[in-house]
Amino acid sequence: MNFDINFDFQRRERIGLVEAIWGQDKTTDQLKRLSENVLDKNEIVFITRINSEKAVTLLDLYEGARFYDEAKCLIIGKNLNKLNTNKRVAIISGGSSDLAVTLEAKLALEIYGVNCQSFIDVGVAGVHRLISQLEEINKYDVLIVCAGMEGALATVVGGLLAQPIIAVPVSVGYGVSRNGEAALNSMLSSCSPGISVMNIDNGYGAAMAALRIIRSIS
């Protein structure tokens, strides 16, 4: 079935961000047509939540396309209008199970030329691991904190460091922690003031929030 492509090419002019393509619920043909349209405008193609089967088809079609399986993201082309900034983002996660979300955030930041660093496996179950990294984390200007289970990591970081904090609940856990709902409610109920909270598993949204902050302080 054909459909009208209505990609938001004016988004960069309005808010400084390009539109990403949600891959999970689109067919391969739809993704191909969207990619062609975006590339024709000399914009970068950034597809999130794309599975390997769809990705293989696009990799065969576009030379230089890059698929990041763990993040379920595919990138075609280059961003010709990167952000000119020396601000840096730390992406902090409770465990390696949060890796898909942290990688999505990292890729989304890197296509804008933002320097970022991941700090993995510093969850509160072994809080000494976080404490040992605090001095280094404190060198970064914006902090993205990804955590599943009870999601307490964002509250702990928010009580120790002053930077803007963007919390991302991750759908990792079991029992009442399943689907990330416990982490979401915990982050929304945080007693550390001023924490911003994304929707469950929304690493891309966290990266865009970080970019908005960076653009306002650069």
Q: How confident is the model at residue 124 (pLDDT cuts 50, 70, 90)?
A: confident
- More confident site: 130 or 177: 130
Specify the pLDDT at position 98. Answer: 84
Once rounded to an integer, what is the mean pLDDT over residues 90-119?
93
pTM of the entire predicted model: 0.91
Contacts of 152 (CB under 8 A, 6+ apart): 124, 186
148 in Cβ contact with 121 (< 8 Å): no
Question: Is the per-residue pLDDT at 214 higher than 60?
Answer: yes
* pLDDT above 70 as % of the chain: 98
Domain boundaries of the chain, sorted by first residue: 11-76, 88-217
How far apart (Å, rounded) are the C-alpha atoms in residues 31 and 37?
A: 10
Per residue in 55-68, pLDDT (tens digit) is 999 999 998 899 99
Specify the pLDDT at position 174. Answer: 83
- More confident site: 168 or 64: 168
> Which CATH number is 88-217's, of 3.40.50.1970, 3.30.565.10, 2.60.40.10, 3.40.50.9100?
3.40.50.1970
